[in-house]
Amino acid sequence: MSRTERRRALITGGSGDIGAAICRTLASQGLEVIVHANSRPDRAHALAEEIRGQGGRALAACFDVTDEGATADSINDLLEGGAIHVVVNNAGMHRDMPMAGMAASDWRKVVDVNLHGFFNVTQPLLLPMARQRWGRIIGISSVAAILGNRGQSNYAAAKAGMHGVVRSLALEMASRSITVNAIAPGIIDGEMTREVFDKATIASMVPMKRPGLPEEVADLVGFLASDKASYITGQVVSINGGMGGG
């Protein structure tokens, strides 16, 4: 059995379009994937079953990333089944509204899921990763954190906060061969995107005149999660078809 085949990866928000693509890609690279979900556990279990049916290794885990205690308990249970070497913080949400009309509860909820969730999931894994002297921590951010976006001040703030965490945590964990990076996708094709953007709008916003594919984001995750990316850390990598920003 290769080193890669012994590795396990936890993907939060694994039941969504991008999360599912990440799970499939990492499973194809030989990792055991833990497909996380909160509100859609049936989709997480179905994806894990699909991956196992194709010869991969997968299981589902369901918990609320904003609940610190429940998240810690779930991660401890998962660690009893073996070390977790890769964590992809993909769970996220948005509640869009210009700030002038935004409810305080919508600000807090979006920050809670997108930023506090990163801490709640990642922090319990840091010492176990440090002891094994290898790890990959990846946060899925957004072009909104780099360029801003009308109606998404809460979402942009949370994701930009993730960038600060990534850069700081990368310095803390580098000596243990643990890399910490973020990926900032632009408009990515999926259920939610199709409800918001038509082809003309995408063509006007994206120099490449098309949305990205979930598989393209997943391929970048797969690279950053591999041994080939061992000297890349503390970075925010954009994948946005040329929308601008770095």
Domain 3-238 has CATH 3.40.50.720: yes
Domain boundaries, the chain: 3-238
Q: How far apart are CA 223 and CA 243, in angstroms?
A: 22
Question: Residues of the chain with pLDDT > 90: what percent?
Answer: 89
pLDDT value of position 10? 98
Question: Order of strands across the sheet with 8-11?
Answer: 57-62, 32-37, 8-11, 86-89, 135-140, 178-185, 236-239
Cα dist from 183 to 8, 76, 170, whole Å: 20, 26, 14
> 173 and 130 in contact (C-beta within 8 Å)?
yes
pLDDT value of position 190? 86
pLDDT tens digits, 195-233: 778 889 899 999 999 999 999 999 999 999 999 999 999
1 — pLDDT class (breaks 50, 70, 90): very low
Predicted TM-score of the model (pTM): 0.94
Is 231 in the active site?
no
| Marked catalytic residue, from 155, 162, 173, 178 | 155
pLDDT value of position 2? 47
Mean pLDDT, rounded, of the chain: 94
pLDDT value of position 31? 98
Length of the chain: 246
User: Is the pLDDT confidence value at 105 over 70?
Assistant: yes
Q: Which letter, b or e, does each residue of 93-108 get, where b requires 16 or more Cβ atoms within 10 Å of its Cβ?
A: bbbbeeeeebeeeebe
